[in-house]
Amino acid sequence: MHKHHSALGVATTLRPAEPVTCLRPHAAERAAGFFLSKFPGKTLYAVKANPSPELIRTLWGAGVTHYDVASIAEVRLVRRLLPEATLCFMHPVKAPEAIAEAYHRHGVRTFSLDSHEELQKIVKATGAATDLTLCVRLRVSNAHAKLSLGAKFGVSQEDAPSLLLAARQAADALGLCFHVGSQTMSPAAYADAMAMVRAAIVAAGVTVDVVDVGGGFPSIYPGMDPAPMEAFFATIHRQFEALPISYSAELWAEPGRALCAEYASVVVRVERRKRDVLYINDGAYGSLFDAAHIGWRFPVRLLRETESRAKPLEFQLYGPTCDDLDHMKGPFMLPADIQPGDYIEIGMLGAYGSAMRTEFNGFGLGHGETVVVEDEPMASVYIDREDDVALPANVVALR
């Protein structure tokens, strides 16, 4: 894999005809180090956010030893890459064959569930194993999240006590888990969810060994400035310490976006301009699924050796396919003099950018070139403006 000093260097040196993915391993290492040193519990990387082998190895090298896997394919992938990693199968609805393979062939001992049916499935597929950690997923509010993930999974507050009691009988260690939604902007989301955890424990009268606060930890995007990460950690720790659980109970988290958003960006070329619309060579069926389908606004910047002095304008983007749905409404702020042949860096695509790529319409075959760059990501929740890190003008720091 080639290395370049910066995304600008990629554009000016390579002049690529296809999109180029820029990887920043140092950003992923910094994010992992932040969580491992400051989160008051165990950090599990949520593989679904970005399953690239390079990133998984980078996080392992940075000290992340536990992985939240959501499919048997993810189980196989991480086990092949990291034979000594601890894998937790945290999808609440799994095929019996997937459970059996995960347990018997890959050493998975932690499973999540949100129903009595899933509990019985796990018990049967593992041969009534006595070494299971079973995490009951509780349905909680996603009101503080930019992307709700609360409708599909989770046992209700009313039904939780009976499921906790049943899981306690089958589990060596019993856990409660939840998900407050993706890109959660306020620590209050975790405080509210922990209050529901407390109510469920009290109603069931069970001993809980694990409390898993899931994911939802935010990154920075245009128009989204979340509270500092330390505020989330402090709220979670305070609420955890107040729960009616044993002294030896463990606190877990499953960051996905927060560990990998700053890891990657993509350099694209403008193929056509039509007033305030730019046609680029990546889009909804490539790295920009979220920009098209849920209106996510990613940071953008024009890559020119001589910086443009033109005023910024609001642009929409169209991707390369023949589909009208290949449309990123934005708005994306770029200089008014942008023209065909110019290159744009689209940042913060380490989370879900590579994971959602397709090869629809023939675009994306081979996914273009991937390079490692040494410059900083376009936004960061881990770089303090008072730190010694030299920030380029384009980098937005949270604090």
Q: If you count them, how many residues does the chain have?
A: 399
Do residues 202 and 178 share a domain?
A: yes
Domain count, the chain: 2
pLDDT at 363: 85
Do residues 102 and 205 share a domain?
A: yes
pLDDT at 208: 97
154: alpha, beta or left? (left if phi > 0; alpha if psi -120 to 50): left
Do residues 41 and 173 share a domain?
A: yes
Do residues 104 and 117 share a domain?
A: yes
Residue among 150, 152, 101 nearest 122 (CA):
101
pLDDT at 399: 46
Which residues, listed in sequence order, are joined to residue 11 by a DSSP beta bridge?
none
Task: Quickly list DSSP for 180-242.
Answer: --EEE--THHHHHHHHHHHHHHHHHT----EEE--S-----BTTB-PPPHHHHHHHHHHHHHT
Decide if 179 contacts 92 (C-beta within 8 A).
no
pLDDT at 396: 57
pLDDT at 210: 98
pLDDT at 143: 87
Do residues 279 and 310 share a domain?
A: yes
For residue range 281-298, what is the model confidence (pLDDT) as tens digits? 999 999 999 999 989 999
Do residues 219 and 270 share a domain?
A: no
pLDDT at 359: 86
Do residues 82 and 199 share a domain?
A: yes
Using a 10 angstrom Cβ sphere, with 0-12 exposed, 13-18 middle and 19 or more buried, the burial of residue 392 is: exposed
pLDDT at 389: 47
- Domain boundary residue, one of 260, 283, 302: 260
pLDDT at 354: 84
pLDDT at 395: 52
Instruction: Report the alpha-carbon distance of residue 355 to residue 335 in Å, rounded.
Output: 30
Instruction: Report the alpha-carbon distance of residue 88 to residue 44 in Å, rounded.
Output: 8
Q: Residue 238: which CATH number?
A: 3.20.20.10
Q: Inter-axis angle of helices 229-241 and 188-204, to 10 degrees?
A: 20
The residue segments making up the domain with residue 219 are 26-260
Do residues 235 and 338 share a domain?
A: no
Indicate the pTM of the whole model.
Answer: 0.94
pLDDT at 362: 85
pLDDT at 366: 64
Query: 């009976």: which residue's tokens?
Result: 162
Q: Residue 285: which CATH number?
A: 2.40.37.10
For residue range 221-252, what is the model confidence (pLDDT) as tens digits? 999 989 999 999 999 999 999 999 988 999 99
Residue among 46, 15, 398 nearest 213 (CA):
46
Q: What are the start-end ranges of the H helices in 15-135?
A: 25-38, 53-61, 72-81, 96-106, 116-125
Do residues 84 and 223 share a domain?
A: yes
pLDDT at 371: 96
Do residues 310 and 339 share a domain?
A: yes
What separation, in Å, do the N-terminal and C-terminal C-alpha atoms of the chain show?
33
Listed as ranges, residues in the chain with pLDDT below 70 are: 1, 366-367, 385-399
67, HSE (Cβ side, Cα atoms, 13 Å) = 33
Do residues 288 and 385 share a domain?
A: yes
Do residues 231 and 340 share a domain?
A: no
- Domain boundary residue, one of 205, 230, 260: 260
- Domain boundary residue, one of 260, 281, 297: 260
